[in-house]
Structure 1
Amino acid sequence: MSWFESFILGLLQGLTEFLPISSSAHLRLAAAFAGWHDPGAAFTAVTQIGTELAVILYFRKDIARIVSAWFRSLGSRQWRQDHDARTGWLVVVGSIPIGVLGITFQDQIEGPFRDLRLIATTLVVMGLVLGAADWLAAREEQGGRHRAGRRRKTLADLGVRDGLVYGFCQALALVPGVSRSGATISGGLFMGYTREAAARYSFLLAIPAVLASGVFELKDAGEGHVSWGPTIFATLIAFVVGYAVIAWFMKYISQRSFLPFVVYRVLLGVALFALVGAGALSPHAGESAG
């Protein structure tokens, strides 16, 4: 991998990790369209460490409060009733599904799941799911006929059931094209959470899973055509760009809908289907490139 490739892929990772459009799909597509070698699951997992460090920096006050309360709850029953401590426990519980499924389906994640036809399918399907969830949230916020006037939930309403649902939604992102934030935000909106609450918890929930995945994949990083230098460079780029994207995204969703992301996902998926169907792009493009 050249330094230019690592710069572009790091930039893409930072731009797309927190938007509901799938960073893993965009890294895979960038390689396919440019004729580069597929960077692989290990490269993706390691560069995600950079974006998660951006999450930790942006939400540092929330995270420090949650971690402190969680540790106190280990030895105090009273602290277990604290909202921040409960949030910490729910993040732990919600991280179990993706950990178990990630290990179980590791071979598929690094192989068949990277087929461009599957990515096109997940882009379209999960785009429509996000659109439906966003539409439902908008109707409720406007006091429409569907569950008219019901208050959208905040993180203070988060319980074990919702925490597990969030966790299983996050696990769907093991398939490129699903989008970790897209799946968890969609799940949150369907469960009645505000856009801001769904996005905030999505980012917090991702921290243990992504960091663990990145550390786990370190053993495979720097092998083959992807050396350590470009991988570290891409991770740094992803960190800087990712922080800026988080700041923008949290402001954006407080006032606007996810419709632009839904349209983008569907159009990209349809275009990808058309290119593969016409033979202009192989479903395995990039996998054998030098």
Structure 2
Amino acid sequence: MDWFQTVVLALIQGLTEFLPISSSAHLILPSQLLGWEDQGLAFDVGVHVGTLAAVVYYFRQDIWSMIKAFFASFKGENSADGRIAWFVIFATVPALIFGFLINDWIDAYGRSILVIAGTTLIFGALLWYADSTRTEVEPLENITFKQAMWIGIAQAVAIIPGTSRSGITMTAALMLGFTRQAAARFSFLLSIPIIMAAGSYKGLELWQTGTTAQWEYVLGGVVLSAISALTCIYLFLKWLNQIGMLPFVIYRFALGVLLLGVYFFA
């Protein structure tokens, strides 16, 4: 790697992790389109740490309230924060199971430009439908176990590159009648355990393989991905009600068509 690749890949990770446009697709594309070599496990772990730090910092007050309410629930105290904490845990399970079962298959067959183009277009259209037909009646505090699990099942599908974890979870939440803000907030909270799991898995793999790394680039990736992710979360939640999902849908359609062009004509 060099510093140019470090900056580009770290910014891609930070900006796309929480936008409904698929971070995995964008991290695969530089190698597919520009011929860049794989950035390596250490860098992958680093940018995951950066985005995790960003979302934890932004939601630090919510997380602290959920942690306190989670332990209070063992004493029989019932609260919205406690229920959300439990639902985040349960809703993470489908993605962990799905990832364990088909991760090797995805690595072998799911990272092609054609697959990314297809999922980008299909789930972009689904996001447009969910946002344009939304009812927006439910705040996050009213979420039920069944609704949380449907969102968790949707998250499991995001292991397929191009789907977008944040995109499909917000799509599911909008279809279930939640407000845009509630959909985004639950999606971001749900990202915390799944990013931790992905980072831990890659970290374990890094430790087992004993891969060497250029640690100055890894550290740069951590910092840049954290700053860009924090900025992205702040601006996305600030502007979400005004701009809606349409700009991201248009971007996904344009990207999907571009990728199809590259696949069939390049």
Report deviation, 1:9. 0.1
Deviations 1:108-138 (A, max 9, x none): 233321111100100000000000001112x
Instruction: Give the aligned partner of residue 86 of structure 1.
Output: 83
CA distance in 2, matches of 1:65, 1:210: 20
Instruction: Give the aligned partner of residue 17 of structure 1.
Output: 17
The answer as to 2:148 corresponding to 1:163 is: yes
Distance 1:201 1:132, change over 3 A: same
CA distance in 1, matches of 2:231, 2:151: 25
Instruction: Give the aligned partner of residue 264 of structure 1.
Output: 251
Farther off after superposition, 106-115 or 214-223: 214-223
Higher-Rg member (1/2): 1
Is the 8 Å Cα contact of residues 46 and 221 (structure 1) preserved in structure 2? no
Cα root mean square deviation, aligned:
1.9
Counterparts of 1:94-109 in structure 2, within 5 Å, are 94-109=91-106
CA distance in 2, matches of 1:45, 1:174: 17
Farther off after superposition, 40-49 or 266-275: 40-49
5+ unaligned residues in a row in structure 1: which ranges?
141-150, 281-290
CA distance in 2, matches of 1:107, 1:2: 29
Distance 1:102 1:94, change over 3 A: same
Farther off after superposition, 35-44 or 261-270: 35-44
Instruction: Give the aligned partner of residue 202 of structure 2.
Output: 217
CA distance in 1, matches of 2:27, 2:195: 16
Report deviation, 1:6. 1.6
Report deviation, 1:42. 7.5
Instruction: Give the aligned partner of residue 198 of structure 1.
Output: 183
Counterparts of 1:14-163 in structure 2, within 5 Å, are 14-39=14-39, 43-44=43-44, 46-74=46-74, 76-77=75-76, 79=77, 81-137=78-134, 140=135, 152-163=137-148
SS in 1 for 2:242: coil
Q: What letter corresponds to residue 167 of structure 1 in structure 2?
A: G
Deviations 1:83-112 (A, max 9, x none): 111110000100101111111112123332
CA distance in 2, matches of 1:246, 1:186: 17
Instruction: Give the aligned partner of residue 189 of structure 1.
Output: 174
Deviations 1:243-268 (A, max 9, x none): 01110000111222111100110111
Count of residues in correspondence between the two structures? 264
Distance 1:234 1:219, change over 3 A: same
Report deviation, 1:39. 3.5
Deviations 1:67-98 (A, max 9, x none): 11101212x12x1x211111100001001011
Identity %: 38
Distance 1:70 1:5, change over 3 A: same
TM-score normalised by L of structure 2: 0.93
SS in 1 for 2:217: helix
Deviations 1:265-286 (A, max 9, x none): 01111110111111x1xxxxxx
Distance 1:221 1:236, change over 3 A: farther
CA distance in 2, matches of 1:50, 1:111: 27
Farther off after superposition, 227-236 or 159-168: 227-236
Report deviation, 1:2. 2.3
Q: What letter corresponds to residue 98 of structure 1 in structure 2?
A: A
The answer as to 2:236 corresponding to 1:249 is: yes
CA distance in 2, matches of 1:155, 1:120: 32
Farther off after superposition, 122-131 or 22-31: 22-31
